[in-house]
Amino acid sequence: MSAGIIAGLAGWHALAGTQAPDPQWALETAYHYPEGQIDAASVGKLGVAWEFDGFVVRGRTNRGVEATPVVVDGVMYATGPWSVVYALDARTGRLLWQYDPDVDGSFARRTCCDAVNRGVAVVDGTVYVATLDGYLVALDAKTGKPLWKADTITDRSRSYAITGAPRVAGNVVVIGNGGGEMGVRGYASAYDRRTGKLAWRFFVVPGDPQAGPDESPDVTEARKTWDPHSAWDLGGGGTPWDSIVYDPDTNTVYLGTGNGSPHPLWLRSPAGGDNLYLSSIVALDADTGRKKWHYQTTPGDSWDYTATQNMILADLDIGGKRRKVIMQAPKNGFFYVLDRLTGELLSAEKYTTVTWADRVDLKTGRPVISDQSNFSEKAKLVWPSEAGGHNWPPMSYSPETGLVYIPVLEAPMIFSMAPTPYRPYSNVQGSVGAFPTVASWGGTQDASVLAGQPAPRFEQVLKAWDPVKQKVAWTSRVMPFWSGGTMTTSNGLVMQGSADGYLNIYDGRSGTLLHRINIGTGILASPMSYTIDGTQYVAVAAGFGGAMNRSFLPGWAAMDRVNAPRLLVFRIGGDQPRLPPRVVATPLVPAPARFRGSEEQVRRGQQLFAHNCLRCHASADSPGGYPDLWKMAPETHEVFEQIVLGGAYSYAGMASFADVLSKDDAMAIHAYLAAPVKKDEAGAKTMH
Ligand code: CA
């Protein structure tokens, strides 16, 4: 260790502090709380100040709650499933207003991972929210009345949807979109924050050259890194669905971009190429949307290695020099520190087990990709999995400890080519990923695939990462797989929720678990904190879902207790949390005999189910967030065709599939569901 290398303390960017002259209230400010009275000595007395449980639930399916609330002038602005905004009195939890954009429920089919929303931006008395069905809406912060609404989708025949939060960047508000698993072309749009007029649009990947000229020189530059005969009709992907951060000092918007679509490079851009600007950090001029610089974390992505994880701006002392940096721990397992003014790569070290690349060459800035990464000919065990070393739950930085707290997923995946071609909207991304150690998710212990590789694990850990020394300071293993985002406070505390329903509070320097509170509901979102009249509060949204909503695992709160969305606010001396009611197990319900089919129908139905239904509905009697189709009531069987083809349950998120399934197809799926149950027949789990 070099004596000249110390993490910057006072230099934490104004975005994270209350000293900012014109605070741009966005999520990035919420992940570090720069003041407060709750400390290691008092944290054991944290109890519930109030709870809000009035979230909109459609049908009987509980959806994930992934948003960190924002508190401005005593009002908490939170979002829940279906892009509904709630304004709550931050002292009492009293609902002041609610804005339900009444989103088209069929858009749930267009998302990889649930009808979630990741929150609002609030500035100058205006609340900005983006909706699942692709609109950006400005609301009066006092009344919740819409001021303007913009359609952000360029092509509504494609599978775009929005689950991310907008960010205010100077005069504009910026929003991305999702659909990188579904055959779309990713882009971000910026709107004048007062009028809602489109200011600019940045396309992450080139479009079909037949469709018209490139939209900008930035797109033309990217095109050089794609096969001219790329599968343009499949969109290319790159959707910047969550990670947007603004630096007011330089009026720069940073976008974290998504994976390629379809997943394998060789299906997307057969001659290869880096495929810019997939899996990249892109710096844009906030006024024009023109690129200042880019850094691609995963050239030629084939592993769903998005760079859509949250990015942190900080000032660090590196090599005796104060550097304005941007930090990200994308899915691919490397922790990147870049000079945010120039894009210069300062460091890139592994924060988890990584086998797709040996290292990142700091001279070229490129990863040294290993043979183990190539699954075009045969199945390969690759670290990290498609879930990434770090997924969307935000990491946080503490200027007091100089450490970044990363929710790390330690798991590899067996990647192989899908036996059937890529199909937008379906469960087929061109490749198949299976967690080797999770039998219920299609796992297998194939000795020949595992030979010579690090032994598979399936673990969630919290890592404290030193971004200057580029190494792990400590690791905590108290949570089950897929837990929540982190937040830090100036008292050196780190808070993180977990799939098992606990809010964990650590000493950020040592990693000691100081206290944990059981709320009985799985937590994905990062907590946040605020102070009113001298009382510090900690808020966290709970409600499991997202990519994990399909199949629950032992140890998760959702296995034992009803997984309804809720928002809890704690203070010193508060009450015991209320635990939700226990889940009551229900038996399989035999289908009415007349829906049985021939063996051939059942076989075809099983295949159709795997392609079209399995993304949400798990196999028989396997606990999960979506309806178990082997437990349908007799009346539901009677309207099966109206549901699958007619869209009868579209409002609740079960869209019509009439565009890809015929009446015969629907009958075959029904015959499969009506056939006597064989265990573990539903196939591999894939994740995005
Ligand atoms: Ca993805």
CA of 399 relative to ligand 1 center, distance in Å: 31
The stretch 347-351 carries a mean pLDDT of 98
Residue 116, both tokens? 């979630």
Please provide the average confidence, as pLDDT, over all residues in the chain.
92
CA of 239 relative to ligand 1 center, distance in Å: 9
The residues whose Cβ lies within 5 A of ligand 1, an ion, are 180, 259, 304, 688
pTM here is: 0.94
pLDDT (0 to 100) of residue 130: 98
For residue 366, pLDDT beyond 70: yes
Q: What CA dihedral angle connects 166, 167, 171 and 175, to 10 degrees? A: -40
pLDDT tens by residue, 119-158? 999 999 999 999 999 999 999 999 999 999 999 999 999 9
CA of 182 relative to ligand 1 center, distance in Å: 9
pLDDT tens by residue, 34-53? 887 999 999 999 999 999 99
pLDDT (0 to 100) of residue 439: 77
CA of 434 relative to ligand 1 center, distance in Å: 15
pLDDT (0 to 100) of residue 5: 27
CA of 111 relative to ligand 1 center, distance in Å: 10
pLDDT (0 to 100) of residue 2: 31
CA of 77 relative to ligand 1 center, distance in Å: 28
Q: What is the 3 state secondary structure string of 109-132?
A: HHCCCCCCCCCCEEECCEEEEECC
Give percent above pLDDT 90 in the chain: 87
Closest C-alpha among 218, 197, 198 to residue 206: 218
Burial class (CB in 10 A: 0-12, 13-18, 19+), 519: buried
pLDDT tens by residue, 535-545? 999 999 999 99
For residue 24, pLDDT beyond 90: no
Residue 505, both tokens? 């509070």
pLDDT (0 to 100) of residue 25: 55
Residue 454, both tokens? 């690090």
CA 119/CA 540 separation, integer angstroms? 12
The stretch 615-627 carries a mean pLDDT of 92
Give percent above pLDDT 70 in the chain: 94
CA 257/CA 328 separation, integer angstroms? 12
Q: How confident is the model at residue 678 (pLDDT cuts 50, 70, 90)?
A: low
Lowest pLDDT segment from 60-69, 131-140, 412-421, 427-436: 427-436
pLDDT (0 to 100) of residue 36: 77
Q: How confident is the model at residue 685 (pLDDT cuts 50, 70, 90)?
A: very low
In angstroms, how far apart are the furthest CA atoms of the chain?
77
- Sheet arrangement for strand 380-382: 380-382, 413-417, 431-434
CA of 304 relative to ligand 1 center, distance in Å: 5
pLDDT (0 to 100) of residue 210: 95
The stretch 282-298 carries a mean pLDDT of 98
Q: How many CA atoms lie within 13 A of 183 on its CB side?
A: 19
CA of 414 relative to ligand 1 center, distance in Å: 16
Closest C-alpha among 171, 145, 185, 389 to residue 288: 171
CA 204/CA 429 separation, integer angstroms? 19
pLDDT (0 to 100) of residue 26: 61
Active site residues: 304
The stretch 406-415 carries a mean pLDDT of 96
Paired strand residues for 657: none
pLDDT (0 to 100) of residue 29: 74
CA of 181 relative to ligand 1 center, distance in Å: 6
Q: How confident is the model at residue 21 (pLDDT cuts 50, 70, 90)?
A: very low
For residue 294, pLDDT beyond 90: yes
Phi then psi dihedrals of residue 431, to 5 deg:
-130, 165
For residue 169, pLDDT beyond 60: yes
Burial class (CB in 10 A: 0-12, 13-18, 19+), 663: exposed
CA 392/CA 329 separation, integer angstroms? 10
Q: How confident is the model at residue 438 (pLDDT cuts 50, 70, 90)?
A: confident
Q: What is the 3 state secondary structure string of 547-602?
A: HHCCCCCCCCHHHHECCCCEEEEEEECCECCCCCCECCCCCCCCCCHHHCCCHHHH
Q: Please say whether the beta carbons of 25 and 123 come within 8 A.
A: yes
Helix ranges (H only) for 138-249 are 217-223
For residue 199, pLDDT beyond 80: yes
